Structure 1
Amino acid sequence: MSDLPRLAPQTDDVVIARTRQWLERAVIGLNLCPFAKAVYVKNQVHYVVCREAAPADVLEVLQTELLDLQASPAETRDTTLLILPDALSEFLAFNDFLYPADKLLRKLKLSGDLQIASFHPDFQFADAEPDDIGNFTNRAPYPILHLLREASIDKAVEAFPDAVQIYARNIAALEALGAEGWAALDVAAYPAAGPHPQETK
């Protein structure tokens, strides 16, 4: 399991680069989300690195990004990845944070327009063991709040009528890949023992 508090400091550019690499190699490369490639290749994914550590401060940044996404044209910003390299490193704390995050969505009266998905380095389904390969469908190099437009989700589901089968297909793909195959993708955050190669360039 990851140990984010011991990670070496990484610049925002490196955090975004690692996140993009995870998108390219895992989410798109393994086709874990068939909807992701279209917005990625059109540069419609907006990346925000939040350096706040306290949940209350993260919530303020989340509010800003939700309102900014709603106000932005979908053609230029279809979705936002709010990346949290310095906060909520413990998965249970991150999972608890999702309740006030959804409460904020309702308070802003954005339910039905936007929704919040989540990824975490130690993501674990409630009925799964920590090392179950299925957990990796929702694992990312950093805690991430994924802000999505409901309208875009509806369009994507129309384009992929077998959307309900995505989860089962992802589990099968990860089981075929195995833990070693996932590790070979190199989509985890780098530990403190060695800097990311991009940091030395």
Structure 2
Amino acid sequence: MDTLRIEVSPAFDDYTATAEFMTLLQEVADSSPSDLPTALFVVPNLYQDFDEYWNWTLICDDLLVQMGYEGLLQLATFHPQYVFEGEDADDMSHFTNRSPFPMLHIIREQDIEDALTQIRFPERIPERNRHHMRRLGHNGLLNIMPSLAGTAVFADNDDQSTPDN
């Protein structure tokens, strides 16, 4: 956590946020992995609508490729109302990618590859994460992370059901 960079953008427009993202992307790419292994880019003033956010992430991913960082860096996406296509709207699986604010996680691909060598059946990670969130349920998640109560992560979730068994 000492080397995790969290950049909170004060931007209120796409152009500024995207320019700031590109600057951080370049900074991560140009830094040594020991100095700056990963970074979060948070945009609390923009992209409250998930579809707008998703469209912006596609632009950011294209920029990553255009800047020549494909194979070096990749993006993970997080949003308060993250929804996986094909899942029921109230499914707990969405919470694996929910966060209090819209953000992008810039990750070094080598770090992911290194981590995957330590995990048995890495292709099952997404399903294990979804299963874990479903088992926890809303109440279980709030017991672990009570600070999420009252945030946009739970804004559209009036159902505070118990974990599924």
Q: Structure 2-normalised TM-score?
A: 0.85
**Distance of 1:98 and 1:189 partners within structure 2:** 26
Q: Which has the higher contact order (CA 8 A, sep 6+)?
A: 1
**Distance of 1:190 and 1:179 partners within structure 2:** 13
Give 1:80's aligned residue: 39
Q: How many residues align?
A: 151
Q: Are 1:162 and 2:103 counterparts?
A: no
Contact between 1:121 and 1:140, CA under 8 Å: does it hold in 2? yes
Identity score, percent: 27
Q: Are 1:64 and 2:45 counterparts?
A: no
Contact between 1:53 and 1:88, CA under 8 Å: does it hold in 2? no
Unaligned residue ranges in structure 2 (runs of 5+):
152-165
Contact between 1:116 and 1:145, CA under 8 Å: does it hold in 2? yes
Greater shift in the superposed pair: 118-127 or 151-160: 151-160
Shift of residue 155, structure 1, vs aligned partner: 0.9
**Distance of 1:93 and 1:187 partners within structure 2:** 26
**Distance of 2:32 and 2:5 partners within structure 1:** 12
More helix by share: 1
Contact between 1:59 and 1:101, CA under 8 Å: does it hold in 2? yes
**Distance of 2:147 and 2:79 partners within structure 1:** 12
Backbone CA RMSD of aligned residues: 1.7
Task: Check 1:94–1:189 CA distance in 2 against 1; reply closer, same or farther (3 A cut).
Answer: farther
SS of the counterpart of 1:116? strand
Q: Which amino acid is 1:188 matched to?
A: L
Q: Structure 1-normalised TM-score?
A: 0.70
Q: Are 1:138 and 2:97 counterparts?
A: yes
Task: Check 1:79–1:100 CA distance in 2 against 1; reply closer, same or farther (3 A cut).
Answer: same
- The equivalent position to 1:186 in structure 2, one of 146, 158, 163, is 146
SS of the counterpart of 2:83? coil
Task: Check 1:65–1:127 CA distance in 2 against 1; reply closer, same or farther (3 A cut).
Answer: same
**Distance of 1:102 and 1:135 partners within structure 2:** 21
SS of the counterpart of 2:113? helix
**Distance of 2:30 and 2:6 partners within structure 1:** 16
Contact between 1:55 and 1:88, CA under 8 Å: does it hold in 2? no
Give 1:119's aligned residue: 78
Shift of residue 105, structure 1, vs aligned partner: 0.7
Contact between 1:121 and 1:188, CA under 8 Å: does it hold in 2? no
